[in-house]
Each structure stands twice: as structure tokens, then as C-alpha cells.
Structure 1
Amino acid sequence: MKKSVAITSGVIIVGVGVWLGATWYTGKRIEEQTQQYLVQANDKLAAAVPGVGIRIEQDHYARGFFSSHAQYTITFTTEKTEEDNKPLIVAVTSEIEHGPFPAGALARGKWLPQLAFIHSELANNEVVKPFFDMAQGKPPLWSDSVLSYNGQADGTGGIAALSFKDDKGTFRFSGATVHSLYDNRDQSIKGRIESDDLLLDVIEDGEPLHAHVSGMGMDIDSRMGKFGLSIGTSALLIKSLEIGSAGLDSPVAINDLGYALDVSEDDAYVAGKAVYKIGKISVAKEDFGGGELALSVAHLDGPTMKIFSDTYKQMARGLMAGRGTDEGLRDEQIGSLIENGGKLLAAKPSLAVDQFVWRNAAGESRFSLKLDLTKPQSDAGTGEDFIQSGAEFLQKAIKRIDASLQISKPMAVALGAQILQLRGADAAEARNEAEENIQAVAGMAEMMNLGRNDGDNIVSTFSYADGRGELNGKEVPVKEWLAELANAGGAAMDEDESESPIVDELDAETVADIIDAAGYEYGYDEGKKVFTVLAEELSPTDITVALLCEPDCDKLRMTAVYGDQTPPTAAVIKHWNAEYAEFGQASLNKQGKAVLQYDVDVSEGLSLDMIQMFLEGFLAVADDFPEPPDEH
């Protein structure tokens, strides 16, 4: 008996020792891996939203034996306050329960060993204080996550109920709940977001505005595919949406508004389907019906999609580096597009409007279209060849077209009568006028062979294959249509080129026009010949465009200074200049602030459109610096 008690006691002591050791090890492991996870998170944020500077940093991490406390800051570098022009910074606190048996995981029925349980919530500061006030002091955002040793994160979270009311109106939000499961092994995520109610009643510019959304739900189930594309499904459904304002003649209500998206792949191809639907739309309480639009694409060669994307990035780098003349650069770009576009066509892709349907109480109308493409046996070789033989290339690239249209005349009459009544006609007048209009349309369609009458429907079909097209059973001159389309495109290109003169010298007025055409306001120092670009939405605190005259004014120097950001390290700057100098030379100024500089030389001749593209490209790169351009 004593022996068995001793053995049992020994097992318990050893078990407790193992548990304590595992708990200590888990806490140490979490702390060591935190920085690695932050780097990965920031890289993914930069790739997902390249136009917005979002960065997560760890303020402090206090590790205990059974639990740890951490605080993180999230900085939005392109969202600046009007008062002090500083980035927006919010803080998140996290309470971490160490595994292998964290209490939070056990409370949720997770009985197997887990790495940790983490409760996180938004911390109160001056930036988010209004949201805390709207949530009656509760954290507006929170999440609970169970982290497993195999890289899974099972989480729940939410947005608190928010409400606000003053003399300008009322805002009320029921809050939202989030459930998600993430697996780091295949970067898959499954989740659902739900919210019951959102109400907005305000006075906007002296006029009332009403919006009410109820029954919102979104689902996602995706993973990273073999071709570097996100594969899976997502869907959104809003049960009810009501909008009323002075700008609308009548209030609008939409029921069952949503979409569903499905992207799939096999060993060689990528395909996608999207369905958008409206259950019912009502205007002034009149039911105008509902419908759906279903689109699909199939047989997109997966590896070529990657190549096409890489080619696009190379073209952008070449543009920023200023390789070749305007004409040569254009031929190089179009040639690359044609080469990779030809590879996509070789896979015989198809595009389709599977159905576009609209229905009401009186009937249903629908449209469908399928377009099969192929690579021509002898396709265009250069950009100029394509321009010259565009009609022939287009004709050969389109393997087949099948389209059909069916318009319900009773449905069209009912819809037309409703519209006329909204404009003030009485019901009888509206009905008679709508019937006359539809009869006239039906007769005109038959006379012009655009459609034929089939009982209560106007129907039309079009098919094209092997260079021959038929509209409602009669041959039509498809070749001439395609030729006109290609000629129109070529004429537009020629017109664009003629509107962009080549210059080998610049003056202040020309530079001002370029900045203005790029969509930015500016200031100008005539003595220094320096323009200051006013772009508060971008990351740099100071952006200048200087006209360099030595002695000819044939160079522009674009400079971005980052006065309110933590400067990158010397290693980061050295790496940038070694890998990405063609996008701009990086350095630190005398004040220790980061500077990005890019020169444009027009002495050999450059079009004004190209100079504008250099400016816009520089501003885009400057907004993301020091994130590498290749990651966007």
C-alpha cells in the first residue's frame, strides 16, 4: 500500500513538474517568436494594402511564469490629423495565458495541450477616446484566440455596440461578432462576421439623411494556392438596406443584397465565379423586383498568370528607371503584354455572363453570354504589328461567342409604368404609355432584326464562330464590326500620342501643368525654381520638385522627406540603394531624417505624358518607402 502511494505521489510530482516546465518553456517561446511574427504581419499588411502605411510594433512585453502581458502600437502613416499632421497611432493590450493548459482554452472546451490563450483589446487614448465614449467605456474592439502548437489560431472577437446622439443626428450600431480559424501551414482562413443593425439619421448640408442596414453577414474560406493566388470562397449578405435623402426623389429599400465569390484551381488552371444578387428593390414602397448577375472565367493558365504579373512589375521598374526613348519604351511594353497575353490565350480561356436576370411580379427577363478565346496560329509579333493587324488578330483570337436575350414584355410594361408613376403620371396613363412604348420597341427590334416577338417575349440570339456571325439566324458582317473597333482603338492611340509633345527642355509653367495634371496642388518658389507638392495624404512630410538649370533647364529633381517617421537603419538604406535605386536614391539628411530623391533627365527628349508618369510613379513609391516596390 505504501509502495503504491509512493508511486502515485511520484507520478503526480513528475506530472506537475512537467506541466510547470512546459508552462515556463511556452512563455519563453512566445516571447522569442513575437518579433518574428510581427515582421511577418507587417510584410503581409504592406502587400495587402500597399497604399496605406500600417505598421505594428511591440511597446513592451512582460513575461511571467503562468502568463505574460504585452502592448502593441499600430501606426497609420498615411492617415494624418489636420491639427498636428502626425500619423494616427492606436494601442492594443494583450493578456497571454501560457500553455500547455491555459485556462481560457479549457473554458472553451479545448482539452488538448495548446500553446497559449490570448485576450486582446483596444486601449484607450486620445485617438480612439470618442469610440470608447460611444461604447459607454467598454473596449470598442476585442478578441480571444487559442493558439495551438501546430500553427492554428482559433479566434472569436467583436466590435462593441456603439451609439451617439447630438443636435446633428443619431448613430447606432448593434456591434459585430467575428469567428475565425487560421492555419499558418497553408495560410488558410475560415471565418464569419455578423452584425444585426446599423442606423444613421443625420442632417447633412442642411438636409436629412437616413440609412438603415440590418442583418449583415460575411463568410470567408480561403487559402494560398499553388500559383500565389488566394483560392477559396467568400460571401456577403445584407438582409435589408434603406436609404433616404434629399438627393433621392423617393426612399429606396433593398432586401437580400449580396454576393458570392468562388476562386478555384487545378494542376494547371485557375477559374473563378461571382454571383451578385438583389432579392427585392423598392422605391417609394413600390416593388421594382429583384435579380442576379452571375459571372465566370475559366481555363486561365496558372503559371502564366504569375509570369504576366512579373512582366507588369518589370515594365513598371523600366518606366521608373527611364530606359529607352518614349517610342522604344512603348514598343517594349506592348511587346511584353502581347507575348504573355498570347500565352494566356494559348490555354483557351473563356469568359461568361452565365446569367443576368431581372424579375418582378409580371415576368422575368434574362441575358447570357459566353466568350471562348484562343491564340491565333500566326499572332502579331510587335506592338506596331498588333496595331496594324488588330482587326484580324481580334477576329482570330475570338474562337466563339454565344449570346441570348429574352425580354418579358409584361415585365417591361410593369417596370416602365412604375417609373412613369414616380415621375408624376397616374396609374392608368402610366400603364397605357408603357404598353405603347414596349410595342414600339418590339416592332422596331423585329424590323431591324435585333429581335423577334415570341408570345409575351422579345428574344434575340447571336453566335459567332470560324469568322462567321449570325444575329437571329441571319448572317451579319462581324469582320467589319471588328475592323471598326480596332480602327477606333488605333485612332484613339494616335490621338493620344499627338496630344503629348516631346520636350528636351522645361520651364516653370510646363512643370506646373504636369503637377496639376497629376492631381496635386502646389506652391512655387520662383527664386529657387522649386515646387512644393501639397499631398497630406501621402507618407512624406515634404515633397518638392526642383527645376535644375545647368545651364539648360533639362532636369527635374523629385525629393521626399520623412520628418515624422522613425528613420530606417543604415543597413536598410544600403539595401534599398543596392536593390531599388532605380526608384530613387535613399539617404539621411543633416537632421537625421529619411530622404528619397529621383532625377528625370529630358535632355534627350521625353514626352510630357511620360514625365507625368515618372512623377506619379515616384509619389507612389515615396508613399510606401522604405517598403520594397516589388512587394506591391
Structure 2
Amino acid sequence: MNKPLGVLVGIVVVAGVLNTAGAWYTGGKIESVLQTSIQQANQELASQLKGTATQGSIELVSVERHLYSSTAHYRLNIQDQASGPDAPPVELLFVDNIEHGPLPWSRIKTFKWLPVMAVSNYSLEKNTFTEKWFAATKDQAPLKGQVTLGYDRSVDGHMELMAFEASMDDKSSISFSGLTMEAQTDAEAKNIKAKGYMDHLKIHAASLDKPPALIELNGLTLASDLNKSTYGFYLGQNVLVLSEGQLTFGVRQSVLGVKNFEYTGSASANGSLLSGRLTYNVGDITLDGKPVGSAQMVMTASSLDIPAMQSLLQTYQSKFQPQVDGTLPQTPLTAEEQARMQVDVEKLLAARPQLALEKLTLKTANGESQFNAAMSLAQPASFELAPIEVTKQMVTALDAKLQLSKPMIADLSAVQAQLVGQTDPQAIAKMASANSEMAGVMAVQTGLAKVDGNNILATLKYAAGEVDLNGQKMSLEDFINAMTTRFGGVAAQ
């Protein structure tokens, strides 16, 4: 044997011995790793589902250990209390072929030679609940994926929902292109990055007493970049983008279409204070193929006290959130709970939170309307003061502005006429013009706005006990009296 070949054989033999030793070591640890991961997953499920009507848990049913691989079986139970207390839980079964590290064969053959603890190849198994799903995918596992577990407990995962077409009954059907998800997390899932894509989903539903409805979604992209906060929930950014969607509904089978829909949500924390931003964009809205317009909304919040919000949410969930049957809980607040709520509200206001609707825009073919508002809050000296004094101290600033386009009102009136079946173009145009003019007249008559050309304008500012309504300044007491008198209420005392 020549020297280079001998060296190569020696390297291969040593690598094989090390891989066998590593696989034995990993195989010996795999069950304890799985139990730890499942325990963490159940804690996270309980945390994320808290306050909802849904409960879920994962169970490790069995593990069969071999030298280079192991086979694990899991059971996922989901209980939806909204279906009633006697409804059986949904049971999903999974089988997992786990390749032991440090060099699983699935990574070697794809030239990924960085040592890892294990590679998990999981898939959904057929049972009573999933047998129709399996039938729709022609007996292929409708859900499957692969997870790579690093020695630092980092996770790199891929999940796939298989495409299928199925008839739910003789009048309803579903067509699904499939969905793929990629995700990466570090140890204990403190940082998560994920992205997913679905090409199309079409759901056609009909019943004897309702007109058929058709929902179509095309080109759906999901993405998240999240970090777990010290308070147990995730901060960061979520994005959802939909290329195109359609809803066919009603007796006339009207078709509402949207294109280039985008949602972005972000949240961050500075110490115990939370800030967030939500943005919605719709690039194009149509009705029965005719253009309607586009829309945008941006909402923000800052300086929200996290512990106070969590405590108030817990009280709401236990005392005020509607039950499964829609009724409110009958147990009244105890004196201790009332005192805690007041402390939480005071803490929330002491942080001087700021809330804003930064932008609400609707644009049609002939006009564009905008609205924005911002409000700053503070803790009053005492809630025992007169309501007007509490309001003065609690609302430190308010600034709102409205620009309502009369041509836009006319455009939307024409859309409304189209929805109710009006087809005469002259009648539609006449009604749309009348509605836009009536809006201007009503705004002026109520004193809430003024008309400037084709726009209805209104501004409202408040600070230090003084209100400025469309340039007219008055005290907060006078403003409340004017509004209640104008709209038939009782004047403030």
C-alpha cells in the first residue's frame, strides 16, 4: 500500500471509530435530552396558550435506542374548551427517526460535516383523527420535518405541510399547495428566526341556508425574528405578506379582491417598559374587478409598564373574559383584587404611556382621506378627585387631525350601491354625489368640522385643561358641555 493511500485509509478508520463512539455517546443521552426538550415545550405551550380556550401537551410515548439511530414516538393532545367540556381532545401522533451525532449520514451526504448531537426526522402518523388528512395526501405523511440539534442545544429546523385537494362534502372543498417553514433557535429557544411560504389556498364552502363563499389566498410569506424577554414572552418583529387574495360572498356572489397586503408587527423593551408598532398596508382593493383603492394603517405604543400590563391581563382573563358559552364570569372582584387592579392601573399610568394612530389612509380613484391621533397619559394625584379633574390630570396631551375627501366618499358610495345590486350608472353617480355633499353639510352643522374645497377638515388638540377644536379654544369643561348639549346628552356638572 502506498503512503498516501495508507494515510487516507488511516484517516477513514479513525473517523469511523470516532463517529461510532460519538454515536454511542449521543444515543445514550438522547432520551434525557428528549425529556428535557418536551418538558420545556410543554411549559412554553402553557405560557403561550394561557388565557385562551385551548390547552395542549406533548408526551414522549416510547424510545427505541440503536447504535447509530433511535426511534421515538410522541403524542400531542389538544383540548379546545370552546367545543364543550365533554368534547374529546384532538390527538396527533408523531414518529421520529433520530440520527445520532456527531456525523449523521443525512449530513455527510449533503457535505455538512460540522458535528451535531442529532438529526431528527419526524412525520405525522395516521390515526382516527388524521386518516382523512392522509387520504387527501394519498397516504403520504401530511406533516413532516427535520430538526438538527447542535451540541450547544441550538436547533435548525425545516417543516413541510403537504399539498392536497379534498372535498369536505358535496358542496365544500379545499385546495392547498402546501407550506414550508424554516426556523433556527439557540439553546432554550431564547432567540428564534423563522420564515415560511405558501403558494395558494382555496376554500369553497356552501350550505343549504347560506350563499356559497370562496376564499382564495395566493403567495403568502411569513417571517419572524424574535427574542425571548425576561418576562416570558417574545419581542422582535413579525411580517406577513400576501400577494393576492379574493373573497367571493353573498347572494350576488360579489368578489372582493386585495393585492400586496403586508402586515408588520414589532415590539421592544427598555427595562420594564414596552414599545410596539403595527403596520398594515393594502396596495390594491377591487370589487367585482373594479378598482376601489388602497389603504394603510400605522399604530404605535410606548412606555407601557410590562408587569402592570401582565397583572391586569391576568385579572381580565380570570374575571372578565367571556366563558365558553359567551357568558361573563359570575365571581365578583374581591377587595384584594380591586386594590391590586388600582395599583396596576396607577403603575401603568405612572410610566406615562403614549398611544398613537400615526396614520389611517384610504385612497380611491378620485380622493384620499387621512386620520391621525396621538395621546399621552399620566398618573393623576388621586382617583378620588372629581371625574373632570381625574381626566385633566390623566390625559396630558391629545392631538387628532382628520382630512375627509368628499370625492372619496362619493367613490365609496358607488361601491356600496354596487354591493346592493344597483346597476344604473346615472343613479349611482347621483346618489354618490348626494352622499358626499350631505357628509359636508352634517360636519358643518354639528360644528365638528369645516369644509375646505373638496375636503372635510377637523382638528382637536388638548393640553393643560384647554381644548382647541378647529381653532376654537375652550376649557375642557366647556368642551364637554358643548358636546353633550349638541348630541342630546346631559351637561357635565
- Which band: TM-score by shorter chain? 0.7 to 0.9
For residues 438 and 80 of structure 1, what CA distance do their matches in structure 2 show? 44
Q: What aligned pairs does 1:133-152 form with structure 2 within 5 A after superposition?
A: 133-152=135-154
* 1:65-101 residue CA offsets vs partner (Å, 9 max, x unmatched): 111111111223447999x964332210011111111
Of 388, 412, 419, which residue of structure 2 is paired with 1:391? Answer: 388
What's the counterpart of residue 292 of structure 2? 288
Please state how far the C-alpha of 1:237 moved relative to its aligned partner. 2.1
For residues 174 and 7 of structure 1, what CA distance do their matches in structure 2 show? 51
Aligned residues of 1:391 and 1:483 also touching (Cα < 8 A): no
What's the counterpart of residue 324 of structure 2? none
Q: What aligned pairs does 1:70-149 form with structure 2 within 5 A after superposition?
A: 70-78=72-80, 86-149=88-151
What's the counterpart of residue 430 of structure 1? 428
Q: Quick one: structure 1 residues 312 and 439, their matched pair in 2 at CA, closer, same or farther if it must change by over 3 Å?
A: closer
Of 189, 192, 195, which residue of structure 1 is paired with 2:192? Answer: 189
Q: Quick one: structure 1 residues 425 and 178, their matched pair in 2 at CA, closer, same or farther if it must change by over 3 Å?
A: same
Of 161, 166, 170, which residue of structure 2 is paired with 1:167? Answer: 170
For residues 281 and 367 of structure 2, what CA distance do their matches in structure 1 show? 17
**Structure 1: stretches of 5+ with no match in the other structure:** 317-325, 487-632
Of 447, 457, 460, which residue of structure 1 is paired with 2:458? Answer: 460
Q: What aligned pairs does 1:478-627 form with structure 2 within 5 A after superposition?
A: 478-479=476-477
For residues 284 and 2 of structure 1, what CA distance do their matches in structure 2 show? 78
What's the counterpart of residue 301 of structure 1? 305
Residue identity matched to 1:62: E
For residues 186 and 243 of structure 1, what CA distance do their matches in structure 2 show? 37
SS across alignment from 2:212: strand
SS across alignment from 1:149: coil
Aligned residues of 1:352 and 1:369 also touching (Cα < 8 A): yes
What's the counterpart of residue 397 of structure 2? 400
Is the radius of gyration larger for structure 1 or structure 2? 1
Q: Quick one: structure 1 residues 359 and 313, their matched pair in 2 at CA, closer, same or farther if it must change by over 3 Å?
A: closer
Which structure is higher in RCO with an 8 Å CA cutoff and minimum separation 6?
1
Aligned residues of 1:80 and 1:88 also touching (Cα < 8 A): no
* 1:4-61 residue CA offsets vs partner (Å, 9 max, x unmatched): 9988876665443332211110111112222222222122212222432322212221
For residues 476 and 248 of structure 1, what CA distance do their matches in structure 2 show? 51
What's the counterpart of residue 46 of structure 1? 46
* 1:456-489 residue CA offsets vs partner (Å, 9 max, x unmatched): 3221111000000011000245336669999xxx
For residues 127 and 82 of structure 2, what CA distance do their matches in structure 1 show? 16
Residue identity matched to 1:134: A
Q: What aligned pairs does 1:57-456 form with structure 2 within 5 A after superposition?
A: 57-78=59-80, 86-165=88-167, 167-185=170-188, 187-205=190-208, 207-247=211-251, 250-305=254-309, 331-376=335-380, 378-380=381-383, 385=384, 389-423=386-420, 424=422, 426-456=424-454
SS across alignment from 2:341: helix
What's the counterpart of residue 19 of structure 2? 19
- The alignment's TM-score, normalised by the length of structure 1, stands at 0.68
Report the more deviating stretch, 463-472 or 299-308: 299-308
- The alignment's TM-score, normalised by the length of structure 2, stands at 0.85
* 1:382-417 residue CA offsets vs partner (Å, 9 max, x unmatched): xxx3xx633321221100000000112222222223
Aligned residues of 2:467 and 2:479 also touching (Cα < 8 A): no
Aligned residues of 1:100 and 1:115 also touching (Cα < 8 A): yes
**Structure 2: stretches of 5+ with no match in the other structure:** 321-330, 485-493
For residues 309 and 171 of structure 1, what CA distance do their matches in structure 2 show? 37
Of 464, 468, 473, which residue of structure 2 is paired with 1:475? Answer: 473
Residue identity matched to 1:19: N
SS across alignment from 1:53: strand
Q: How many pairs does the alignment contain?
A: 468
For residues 164 and 314 of structure 1, what CA distance do their matches in structure 2 show? 40
Aligned residues of 2:409 and 2:435 also touching (Cα < 8 A): no
Please state how far the C-alpha of 1:133 moved relative to its aligned partner. 0.6
Q: Quick one: structure 1 residues 334 and 123, their matched pair in 2 at CA, closer, same or farther if it must change by over 3 Å?
A: same
For residues 305 and 124 of structure 1, what CA distance do their matches in structure 2 show? 43
Q: Quick one: structure 1 residues 106 and 308, their matched pair in 2 at CA, closer, same or farther if it must change by over 3 Å?
A: farther
Please state how far the C-alpha of 1:204 moved relative to its aligned partner. 1.6
What's the counterpart of residue 549 of structure 1? none
Report the more deviating stretch, 108-117 or 144-153: 108-117
Residue identity matched to 2:171: K
Residue identity matched to 2:201: L
